[in-house]
Every structure is written in structure tokens, then in C-alpha cells.
Amino acid sequence: MATIWRHRSGEGLASDLDTLAEESPLEIRYGDADNERVVTMRTPGADTLLAVGLLLDMGLVDGPDDLLAVRQEGANSIRVRLRMHRAPPPVRKTAVTSACGVCGDSRLELDRLLASPPLGEGPEVPITRILDLPERLRAAQAMFLRSGGLHAAALFTLDGRLLRLEEDVGRHNAVDKVIGWACLERRLPLQRQLLMVSGRTSYEIVKKCIRARLPLLAAVSAPSSLAVELADASGMTLIGFLRPPRFNVYAGEARLRG
């Protein structure tokens, strides 16, 4: 809680209390060398899920069998023991912000992703199901309702049932937490699920979804040009500006029916 001054029409300034979204660093160590770690800014909570999801995105983990242990060491540190040592990606930054995820990934990584196997055809999803997603996401955002300062990522079944929702100051972190949960629950690949995110869709979020083999990604706001390029090349359905009764389809429109 923080003491603030609120202004209301005709009343001037008045002292009040407000709930703020918490942001603090998390160090994830997956080896003994100095470069075998990543530091990200995040909202505390579900830290082990965030660590697993981020290591999946980095290509250091393919599934739960690659993990020997994931342990919280203090409030802001996670230690991960991997079954097999893998060299850290040469283009990966060791510091990640909650705003941009992995800003600065090279065009070389994008070209590699564009050459990876496409997601394949299907499944088909009714348009009415897509239009239901924003309300289902908002209804489950308990932390956002208190602070107004958090993003969310929500994983749904094809019939619209909510499987998992995570909130964080960073959209990328929320996605990593959801995918990390799916990994530990042995639900990967997510070939028959949908992901809804608050805010805009960047290339990094599309990339995370492709690694999890998610066929459909919807967002409240716009995608970036690289997000559309990667989604289209990978066969993903990418939806933006999902604000019922309207939305835009930027790639993969064949999956939508009705």
C-alpha cells in the first residue's frame, strides 16, 4: 500500500491509500558460471513457474524431464539444476526487463525460428469462443482488480475453459509463468489450447508460444510487425485488438469459423 493524493472534481486533493503492483528482480541460476544466469524484473509469485518458462524460451529446457530440481533460494533467487548442461544462447542478454522481455534478440534468431517446422493445420475455433475470452480473462484477474497495474496471460481449452491465469508487471513474465506451469504439469505441447494476453503482442511473446506449440494467440492490443511475420510463417493464428464485438486477425484466419 502507498499513501497518495487523489483529485476528484470539485473536491481538490485528499489523502488516500492505494495498492501498487510490486516489481522486484529475480535471479535465475542454471549453472555455476557467471553467464549461466538470467535476471528479470517481475511481480513476486509463481517464481518457479517463471524460471521454468524462461528456460524453455531460452532453449535450455525442452520439458520437465530436463529438470532435476527447481528451488527457491531466498525471496529473489531461483536455483535450477538441469539434467544436461547446455551452453547459454550467445544472443541472449543476461538482464531482462519486465517491459521488453528479451529486447535485442538478433535477426539471426528470428531467421532460425522462421525456418522451424510450422504448427500444422487446426484446430478450428468458433468466433463466438474468441469473443468470450476478454471477459473470462478480466473476471479472473484478481491482482489487477486491486492494483490496476498488472498484465495477464490466460490459457484456455478449445471450449473456453480457463486452465491457468498468471499476472505480472511484464506481459512476457505472465506468459512464461503460464508455459512454465504447463511444462511442470506435463501438458506440453499445447496444441489444443488458446492463449489470451493483455496489452500488445510482441515478437518475443509469439516466439514463446511457438516453442510451446500454441496454435492461437489473442491480445487486447496490436501486434508488432515481427510478431505478425513470425506468426504467419509458423502457421499460428494471431488476433489483435480483441475488444468485443470486434477483433483483427493478422495471421492464420483459416482456424476461425462462424
Instruction: Out of 100, 103, 183, 209, pick the active-site residue.
Output: 100
Cell matching residue 21 = 503492483
Question: What distance lies between CA 81 and its chain's CA centroid?
Answer: 23
Q: Mark residue 124 as left, alpha or beta (left: phi above 0; alpha: psi -120 to 50; beta: remaining).
A: beta
Residue 82 backbone dihedrals phi, psi, to 5 degrees: -100, 145
As a whole number of angstroms, the distance between CA 88 and CA 111 comes to 19
- Catalytic, 100? Answer yes
Instruction: Name, in order, each residue with C-beta under 8 angstroms of 117's C-beta and a sequence gap of 6 or more.
Output: none
Cell matching residue 249 = 486477425
* Catalytic (active-site) positions: 100
